[in-house]
Amino acid sequence: MDRLRPRGIWSEFVSYPQTGIVLEKFSLGVGDRFAHQAKPQLAACARAAEKGVVVVPVWNKSNREHKIVGSEPSSTRAAADAAVGALGWKHSYYVDADHINLDTVDRFVPASDFFTLDVAHAIGHAPGAGAAESFVHRHPELVGRIDIPGIPEPLEVTPEQTCASAHKYLFAVSEAGRIYRHIADRKQPGHFITEVSMDETDFPQTPSELLLILAAIADEGIPIQTIAPKFTGRFNKGVDYVGDVEQFEKEFASDLAVIAHAIAHYGLPGNLKLSVHSGSDKFSIYAPIRRSLRRFDAGVHVKTAGTTWLEELIGLSEAGPEGLAMAKQIYASALDHLEDLCAPYAAVIDIDPARLPSAAEVAGWTAEQYSGALRHDQRNPLFDPHVRQLLHVGYKIAAGMGDRYTDMLVACEESISRNVTQNLYDRHIEPLFLRS
């Protein structure tokens, strides 16, 4: 059983800052494109806390979103701080520099205390000469039969497979190391949370690949608290999971087992957990996630992306004629700019343009029709996933309206806040963390 004992590498060469920010067991990534909904988002977490379950909010916004909206990371921080002050939130909260790399990280450094190091693009790049071979030499425990508590069948990995995985992932992990050290040089180590993400790639990582990645991350000295692998199935933006739910549950549970194993064997932070980049609204896998978390007594970070912006539109449509008119105008304009808006998100949306209602048709809709088409209630016959996905990527249109849009958000605050809080609590927090 020697191969199952911790390797000496971590303890010999790396001193991991044990004091510092420790991300809580349950955390929820929330997006707030126009930085107007932090308060009603936080209110959803407060509702869970009142029921005895602490789910800490992490405001995430990627460089892509900041560029499209024309905002700065400091605005996310300011909105989060203000919401926490207004509601008297006593627990932690964080601001996530989502999907950053060496080219984009710098402007996030002052305002963020959570960094998602995106190295998916580096997967498959050849590591330095001999790096894969010496890694495999250092890690004989990653070859052969690997017994992991919680996984029914031991992993069986041939030396060739381990070597191939090392070739595939080591460069990406070393890239994560470079980004981590870049941040640690500018912010005190231990004063920020590190996530490594590999989700924006074509193929899911197997449990044995995840184990190898975590071993490599430990070697690299990254105090990783969350890891975002690519899971099996499609995670389109703003709509439900598409894929084999049973297979997902099996892989998700295996990943939890691998993480517990990696913590024990490589000295990674004890609170290391999975981060699910859900793209929001993966309702059909919430029950499998909840069951698996309870089975392993594990934590999770779930990023819900920017669907709060859709609740703004729903809130506008329900707030009265002026709000409804603006919501319709945004749809018409989004339809006009369909290709432009979809291009940056092509890999994560599935819109059939032929099934989108015309602007004239939508112009005749009642508030009930508009909110019914957009709100993610699959039992409502009015729900239209094509409209929802188009509007999800259509926030550039609202950004282009400038103050006219944000002034309307303020004017319709009551209606919007109600929708934002209900959506986050009823459709996400409750089924993920509270339901028995």
Beta bridge partners of 29: 58, 303
Select 96 or 199, whichever has its Cβ closest to Zn ion. 199
Select 199 or 311, whichever has its Cβ closest to Zn ion. 199
| Shortest Å distance, C-beta 278 to Zn ion | 9
Tokens found for residue 406: 């944000």
Size of the site for Zn ion (CB under 5 A): 2
Dihedral sign computed on CA atoms, order 276, 151, 291, 265: negative
Q: Which helix (H) or strand (E) holds 189?
A: none
| Shortest Å distance, C-beta 197 to Zn ion | 5
Tell me the CB-side half-sphere exposure of residue 413, using CA atoms within 13 A: 10
| Shortest Å distance, C-beta 260 to Zn ion | 23
Binding mask 190-219 for Zn ion (x = CB under 5 A): ---------x--------------------
Using CB under 5 A as the binding rule, whether residue 277 contacts Zn ion is answered as yes
The answer to whether the CB of 317 falls within 8 A of the CB of 371 is yes
Using CB under 5 A as the binding rule, whether residue 96 contacts Zn ion is answered as no
| Shortest Å distance, C-beta 340 to Zn ion | 22
| Shortest Å distance, C-beta 145 to Zn ion | 33
Select 199 or 384, whichever has its Cβ closest to Zn ion. 199
Using CB under 5 A as the binding rule, whether residue 230 contacts Zn ion is answered as no
Tokens found for residue 385: 């996933």
Select 98 or 312, whichever has its Cβ closest to Zn ion. 98
| Beta carbons within 8 Å of 98's beta carbon, 6+ residues apart | 29, 60, 61, 62, 63, 65, 116, 303
The region of 10-18, 177-185, 277-285, 312-320 touching Zn ion under the rule CB under 5 A is 277-285
The answer to whether the CB of 269 falls within 8 A of the CB of 16 is yes
Q: What is the DSSP letter of 427?
A: I
Select 173 or 326, whichever has its Cβ closest to Zn ion. 173
Select 100 or 326, whichever has its Cβ closest to Zn ion. 100
Select 121 or 145, whichever has its Cβ closest to Zn ion. 121
- What are the angstrom distances between the C-alpha of 269 and each of 24, 142, 274, 326? 12, 20, 13, 48
- What single string gives the DSSP state of each residue in 41-70? HHHHHHHHHHTT---EEEEEEEHHHHHHHT
| Shortest Å distance, C-beta 353 to Zn ion | 25
The region of 47-55, 241-249, 274-282, 290-298 touching Zn ion under the rule CB under 5 A is 274-282
The answer to whether the CB of 315 falls within 8 A of the CB of 419 is yes
Rg of the chain (C-alpha set): 22
Select 100 or 136, whichever has its Cβ closest to Zn ion. 100
The answer to whether the CB of 144 falls within 8 A of the CB of 154 is no
The region of 270-278, 283-291, 310-318, 371-379 touching Zn ion under the rule CB under 5 A is 270-278
The residue number with the shortest CB distance to Zn ion is 277
69: Cα separation from own chain's centroid: 19
To the nearest 10°, report the CA torsion of 393, 397, 400, 405: -100
| Shortest Å distance, C-beta 194 to Zn ion | 15
Tokens found for residue 262: 């990696």
| Shortest Å distance, C-beta 138 to Zn ion | 30
The region of 132-140, 176-184, 276-284, 405-413 touching Zn ion under the rule CB under 5 A is 276-284
- What are the angstrom distances between the C-alpha of 225 and each of 4, 245, 340? 22, 26, 36
Select 61 or 277, whichever has its Cβ closest to Zn ion. 277
Q: Which helix (H) or strand (E) holds 1?
A: none
Select 167 or 277, whichever has its Cβ closest to Zn ion. 277
| Shortest Å distance, C-beta 123 to Zn ion | 14
- Between CA 98 and CA 199 the distance in angstroms is 12
| Shortest Å distance, C-beta 99 to Zn ion | 6
Which residues would be at the binding site for Zn ion (CB under 5 A)?
Answer: 199, 277
